[in-house]
Amino acid sequence: MLTKDNRYAGPAVLVFEDGRVFHGRGFGATATRVGEVVFNTAMTGYQEIVSDASYTGQLVCLTAPEIGVVGTNADDEESFRHGADALIIRTLSPAVSNWRAEAPLSEYLQRRGLPGIAEVDTRAITRHLREAGALRGVVSTERVDVDALVALAREAPPMEGRNLAAEVTTADKYVWDERSWSGEPGSAAPATDLHVVAYDYGIKHNILRMLRDRGVRTTVVPAETTVDEVLAMDPDGVFLSNGPGDPAAVEGAQQRIAALVEQLEDRPLFGICLGHQLLCLALGGATYKLKFGHHGGNHPVRDERSARVAITSQNHGFAVDLGSLGEGGVLTHLNLFDKTVAGLALRDKPVFSVQYHPEACPGPHDAGGLFDTFVDDMRARAATRRAR
């Protein structure tokens, strides 16, 4: 267990490309990481945030005042290989107190090779990002040469134009067969009667768990998988995953998705976050960079068909230009913070997508019913096809 005296390993520094500097105390790995600095307003879920592949290339500042009290465990990983490049927090908890904990946060970051910086003013950092917009920065627990680190930040590539999905996608297809954690040892998932092919642009494990909980066998495929390969697997539906980077830079995705929309016929297609943006681009739309993005677990989204509001988990730096979609796409969900597009559907096909995380591990769970919508539609259409 961590104690107050040994939480930190030594000095650490966060520098921004504009020259702003924050000195703090280091934990996790002894390393230097460069990326886009973003803030996340979620109150819980730091392990899920760190291990979310959508944060690849980003240094994440958490606004909650103390982080680490529940430790970390193998069941809450969202990606085994990818995620945030560094963690910025106000205070590292002096103790780990949760029955599921297997390792403290500092040890977890060490295993991932990620530096953490604490004892910095995360409120000031957040205000700086809100005023200046997302900035490139450096977190280092091994170097204190501020001028050299500022130069390193300025040399880093901007997020615009980066095809990070190509860096995080799986190299080979695989079948997922793990249900959500239930706390009941040996509890079995329902039998599978549906098959989904999921494009991996940085897919979160809990998306796959949510599908498995509903009787879906999911084959996860690399981002560059051809339409012919997908159709040859005869899926009941197709899923477009979340992921990092600029959607306009994901080579070939727009063409593949456009072809899928045309050739899937009555088989549903569902996209989340980057998958939502890629679908919009495939439909002839456009995306743009947000000033500081949406990152947190408290974003209100209104369903434009029912007027119901859900509190959602979000993590994206780009958004869809609704006016670019033409008449084919229908706005289904609206972000009530800034009136950006939070969901859309096609008028004449079972195709829809959302700009937030309905799997929302660890929460909130307001939008989990979108998986029911997807699965129920697949099941009904599959039954009709089999009855012919």
- Taking only Cα atoms into account, the Rg of the chain, rounded to an integer number of angstroms, comes to 21
Between CA 91 and CA 237 the distance in angstroms is: 44
Catalytic residue among 82, 299, 333, 357: 357
Contact 91, 67 (CB under 8 A): yes
Catalytic residue among 61, 273, 280, 361: 273
Between CA 61 and CA 80 the distance in angstroms is: 21
- 102 assigned to active site: no
- 61 assigned to active site: no
Catalytic residue among 48, 77, 78, 359: 359
Which is nearest to 354 in space by CA: 346, 365, 344, 367? Answer: 344
Which is nearest to 272 in space by CA: 171, 348, 360, 195? Answer: 360
- 82 assigned to active site: no
Contact 326, 319 (CB under 8 A): no
Number of other CB atoms surrounding residue 64 within 10 Å: 16
Strand 32-40 versus strand 58-62 pairing type: parallel
Number of other CB atoms surrounding residue 341 within 10 Å: 25
Contact 87, 28 (CB under 8 A): yes
How many Cα atoms occupy the beta-carbon half-sphere of 115 within 13 Å?
A: 24
Residues identified as active-site? 273, 357, 359
